[in-house]
């Protein structure tokens, strides 16, 4: 007879693998396309707008010569997509990069469930991915444990009526200008994670970094100094509805979960929905597309409320990062045009400072430049709005690990190293920003 813990374990794993994910990716493949010329880019860009009609989904957001393009292909589309890639006289070479996405998802879920079951502590594990419920409980815990430093803030409610919450880290001390005088005009930083639901490393990294700032204040002189110089707004999960959906229905969901004009298609891309050159380029008006810009600018209640919260800080925020994965890129405005803003060098030099400090830890290499130059012209993104409308000079979009080996399915054993190296990059970047804003 089976002992009762084993029965519980088997039941748990059975439930975990059969019920949690409604959308099955069994035998879905990820292909890596090799792009060598502009004709191929034109062909694949054009196709990317209709790919959803075949349940084909581009994991890569940028199509550039000699850079891999990853695309998920369902079993039913394998033959036709292969034929398409070799048709029209413009042949695109590819390799099957992942043979069975569904198997990877299921295996990760089994390991996650097993380690949770065998863990005999209720402490928040920083080397694990967490549900929204766990993350919100963690936020409450941080605010009560570090009550001298952290205060809860509520951005508002999501489309499905969930709380969008974060916390502000503030030592409540006056900042010191470079000449040694004190100033009550303290500047602030905003870091948010999880705007795209499936990019799980993003909330996990924001959480790791926020915890380090809280727990090292008063112990680590560098962090103590930065927390005395800046207030830090931390929003671990921006797109709360989408994030819950990736845990319960579809691990690879990206968008929000609002209703659209098409009854079978849900959500808009919250990083194409901001009211700054909204939906001019590099975004779709098709509600079924993964880059759907929404029915209008700020149609998504999550986006409009975060924007309002940032605007309400009335210029205090001088640095913004919208964390994504994957590709290892540190990007500054603009996204909407390939033209560079007047402060491009100031912003991009910050990116270089960050990625050099980041690489010094484990050798992880990041690219840098403007969003339009690095990915493609894509309007309505967060960093364009925070810079263009809210005047946040040091606005960035950051794509965390990896470069596609696991893509959105980055294993949990990379959470801590990603957190550590990103922390090194952020400390260097905030030190760089400090020199400019307190001059």
Beta carbon nearer to Zn ion, 186 or 198: 198
Beta carbon nearer to Zn ion, 16 or 367: 367
Beta carbon nearer to Zn ion, 383 or 430: 383
Residue whose entry in the numeric block shows the structure tokens 């010191």: 176
Q: At what angle do helices 201-216 and 132-145 cross, to 10 degrees?
A: 10
Q: How far apart are CA 166 and CA 406, in angstroms?
A: 28
CA within 13 Å, CB half, 184: 0
Contact set with Zn ion (CB under 5 A): 196, 324
For residue 334, cis peptide bond before it (omega within 30 degrees of 0): yes
Structure tokens at 272: 């194409």
Q: How far is the CB of 272 from Zn ion (least distance, A)?
A: 10
For residue 110, cis peptide bond before it (omega within 30 degrees of 0): no
Beta carbon nearer to Zn ion, 16 or 203: 203
Identify whether the C-beta of residue 395 lies closer than 8 Å to the C-beta of residue 333. yes
Beta carbon nearer to Zn ion, 62 or 196: 196
Q: How far is the CB of 315 from Zn ion (least distance, A)?
A: 27
Q: How far is the CB of 253 from Zn ion (least distance, A)?
A: 12
Distance of CA 211 to the CA centre of its chain: 18
Question: Residue 387 is inside which H or E element, if any?
Answer: helix 382-388
CB atoms within 10 A of CB 261: 7
Q: How far apart are CA 101 and CA 107, in angstroms?
A: 10
Q: How far is the CB of 141 from Zn ion (least distance, A)?
A: 27
Closest of 18, 125, 27 to residue 416, by C-alpha: 125
Q: How far is the CB of 364 from Zn ion (least distance, A)?
A: 18
- Active site (annotated) includes residue 61: no
Q: Which of 61, 106, 373, 399 is catalytic?
A: 399
- Catalytic positions, written as ranges: 399
């Amino acid at each position: 007879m089976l002992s009762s813990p084993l029965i519980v374990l088997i039941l748990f794993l059975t439930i975990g693998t059969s019920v949690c994910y409604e959308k099955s990716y069994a035998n879905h493949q990820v292909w890596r396309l090799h792009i060598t010329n502009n004709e191929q880019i034109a062909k694949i860009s054009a196709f990317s707008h209709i790919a959803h009609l075949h349940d084909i989904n581009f994991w890569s957001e940028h199509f550039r010569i000699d850079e891999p393009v990853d695309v998920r292909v369902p079993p039913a589309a394998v033959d036709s997509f292969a034929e398409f890639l070799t048709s029209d006289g413009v042949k695109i070479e590819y390799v099957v990069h992942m043979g069975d996405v569904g198997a990877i998802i299921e295996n990760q879920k089994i390991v996650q469930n097993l380690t949770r079951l065998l863990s005999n502590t209720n402490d928040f594990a920083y080397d694990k991915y967490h549900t929204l419920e766990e993350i919100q409980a963690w936020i409450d815990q941080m605010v009560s444990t570090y009550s001298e430093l952290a205060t809860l803030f509520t951005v508002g409610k999501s489309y499905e009526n969930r709380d969008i919450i974060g916390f502000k880290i503030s030592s409540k001390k006056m900042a010191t200008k470079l000449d040694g005088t004190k100033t009550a005009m303290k500047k602030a930083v905003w870091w948010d994670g999880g705007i795209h639901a499936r990019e799980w490393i993003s909330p996990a990294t924001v959480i790791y970094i926020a915890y380090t700032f809280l727990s090292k204040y008063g112990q680590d002189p560098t962090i103590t100094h930065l927390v005395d110089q800046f207030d830090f707004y931390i929003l671990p999960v921006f797109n709360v509805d989408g994030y819950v959906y990736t845990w319960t229905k579809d691990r690879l969901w990206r968008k929000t979960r609002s209703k659209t004009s098409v009854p079978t298609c849900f959500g808009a891309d919250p990083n194409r929905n901001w009211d700054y050159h909204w939906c001019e380029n590099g975004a779709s008006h098709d509600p079924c597309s993964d880059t759907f810009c929404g029915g209008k600018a700020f149609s998504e209640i999550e986006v409009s409320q975060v924007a309002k919260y940032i605007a309400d800080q009335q210029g205090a925020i001088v640095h913004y990062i919208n964390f994504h994965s994957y590709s290892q890129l540190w990007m500054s405005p603009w996204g909407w045009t390939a033209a560079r803003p007047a402060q491009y060098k100031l912003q991009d030099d910050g990116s270089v400072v960050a990625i050099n400090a980041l690489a010094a830890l484990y050798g992880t290499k990041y690219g840098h430049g403007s969003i339009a130059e690095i990915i493609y012209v894509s309007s309505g993104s967060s960093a364009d709005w925070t810079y263009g409308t809210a005047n946040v000079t040091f606005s960035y979009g950051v794509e965390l690990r990896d470069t596609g080996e696991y893509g959105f399915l980055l294993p949990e054993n990379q959470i801590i190293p990603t957190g550590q190296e990103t922390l090194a990059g952020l400390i260097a970047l905030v030190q760089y920003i400090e020199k400019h804003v307190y001059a």
